[in-house]
Structure 1
């Protein structure tokens, strides 16, 4: 009777022989997943040690792929370079962010490990030791890296998928009251116009920026990415159209503040109707405009303005009791005001969110007073 052929993944009899002083080699033939029969061998300090080493190898063995960029012996440092090089459709600022986080929190801490050596538990323990915001990004990086490993059939599951998603505790959305908004405007104006300041004034365009933000609810960097060709003050109604966004210093390695000719996430252009406050603010800036393709909010050299600089001026201008106010506070304020007056759907459309849940979760100030339902409850209590 002919001997039965091994199925893919099976191996034959293990033989052990002495190969040197205190050194033994265990070997067998294994039929890999590609159907080919190959010899596998491992050594140890005793016969049993060599046999156990070979059995561990056989249980985790993957079929060798000729010319593969990733193998069982690939280090995580090498794997990162293979993975990041494959992300050719990723925006440069995202690639730079991933590399910064990997270089600071991954390269020296994990880079020497081979692909089989980073288990779920080890990744879980390590990610728990670094700041939440960095752990979130590093988890994305590691998940992508090990997805590549799975595609090469070196692992059957991605060990990072089950690592806990750490989340920072987000402060609830808070909108400015009309009185608070009035204080913000008056203190910012006083900060800009304060006497005794020589040279360029900090916060030169901060008041106009706040007025446009509080009138539209647009993202700060998309407001700073406005060009005069995107603004129509003479239309009926007057409008502005968001077609791009600015990227601040350092977002792309080696680049200063610059404009990206697309919105966040590749979203389509978004047109908003301008209320009176925004029209007045933009009309006041129009007198300095010389280039229709130039920035509406231009720095002193006529280039794109840094949001980081505006944030710094806003912090310096506001009193301590309004220290919680940031440029995004005006976006949340617009969302809340529009919801309270016109409903959630109108607020979502104003902010240009594709999902109402995004607007509700991050931009609406929570309503903490219930409606007047006395008539319904009185009828129920009366048995009606």
Structure 2
């Protein structure tokens, strides 16, 4: 459009041509939080009174402890939390559909319910919430202010507001937590374990979209040393 304006003598020059292009980020690049970043982020959430008032810190802990999607965390019911055995069962998700409104879908995105043994940091949070949260009609671990279903888009908006108060975390979205879990499990175990954690049917999906590619290549020095004639 600016070129057209120049041709029509509205402008003497196209100012866009002097702008430095923004480097494009590869769509295949996966970015996740490492352990120190997770620790710092959890501390920031816990110290943010506005975030704790809307349970954002607790919701993030469930996603970090399981690798679940936001909608799956919001669909979690107390009947699916085994406090004695430290297990959380993911059996559904919260969705909104035209004509049906907001409802709990009794299947996850992967169509298969899955149980997760939960680490202690999240288990302590669930035990605390079990005494604090009223187990209303829907039996939800993370109900809305009115005790009903909470929408994933609401959490997205609340997360963006948190990032505005903490600019150092502007690159993080709720999906980043799932990628962080996938990357951590792959690093600590293997890609098959990461796929199982995230509920993927094929490890290739996990490897491509949910695991950070290592910056350091494999150690093949012994093999390549032969090129040196030794």
Give runs of aligned pairs for residues 164-183 of structure 1, distance below 5 A: 170=27, 172-183=29-40
1:33-57 CA-partner distances (Å, limit 9, x unpaired): xxxxxxxxxxxxxxxxxxxxxxxxx
CA distance, structure 1, for counterparts of residue 100 and residue 42 of structure 2: 33
Give runs of aligned pairs for residues 137-216 of structure 1, distance below 5 A: 170=27, 172-191=29-48, 193=49, 204-216=54-66
What residue is the counterpart of 1:341 in the other structure? 188
Task: State the shift of 1:281 in Å.
Answer: 1.7
Aligned length: 203
1:80-128 CA-partner distances (Å, limit 9, x unpaired): xxxxxxxxxxxxxxxxxxxxxxxxxxxxxxxxxxxxxxxxxxxxxxxxx
SS of alignment partner, residue 240 of structure 1: strand
Where do 4+ consecutive residues of structure 1 move more than 6 Å?
none
What residue is the counterpart of 2:217 in the other structure? 370
Q: CA separation of 1:256/1:190 partners in 2, compared to 1, >3 Å: closer, same or farther?
A: farther
CA contact (8 A) 1:229 1:292 kept: no
> CA RMSD of the aligned region, Å?
2.2
Which of 230, 239, 243 is the matching residue for 2:80? Answer: 230
CA distance, structure 2, for counterparts of residue 293 and residue 338 of structure 1: 32
Task: State the shift of 1:351 in Å.
Answer: 0.6
Task: State the shift of 1:296 in Å.
Answer: 0.9
Task: State the shift of 1:232 in Å.
Answer: 0.3
CA distance, structure 2, for counterparts of residue 332 and residue 234 of structure 1: 28
Task: State the shift of 1:273 in Å.
Answer: 0.7
Residue 206 of structure 2 corresponds to residue 359 of structure 1: yes
CA contact (8 A) 2:103 2:149 kept: yes
Task: State the shift of 1:234 in Å.
Answer: 0.6
Judge which range, 201-210 or 322-331, deviates more.
Answer: 201-210
CA contact (8 A) 1:227 1:292 kept: no
Larger of the two Rg values belongs to structure: 1
SS of alignment partner, residue 257 of structure 1: strand
Instruction: Report which structure shows greater RCO (CA 8 Å, sep ≥6).
Output: 2
Which of 112, 123, 140 is the matching residue for 1:279? Answer: 123
CA contact (8 A) 2:77 2:141 kept: yes
SS of alignment partner, residue 263 of structure 1: coil
State TM-score, norm by structure 1: 0.50
Which of 104, 126, 136 is the matching residue for 1:259? Answer: 104
Give runs of aligned pairs for residues 1-384 of structure 1, distance below 5 A: 170=27, 172-191=29-48, 193=49, 204-235=54-85, 238-247=86-95, 251-265=96-110, 267-287=111-131, 288-291=133-136, 294-318=139-163, 319-382=166-229
More helix by share: 2
SS of alignment partner, residue 340 of structure 1: helix
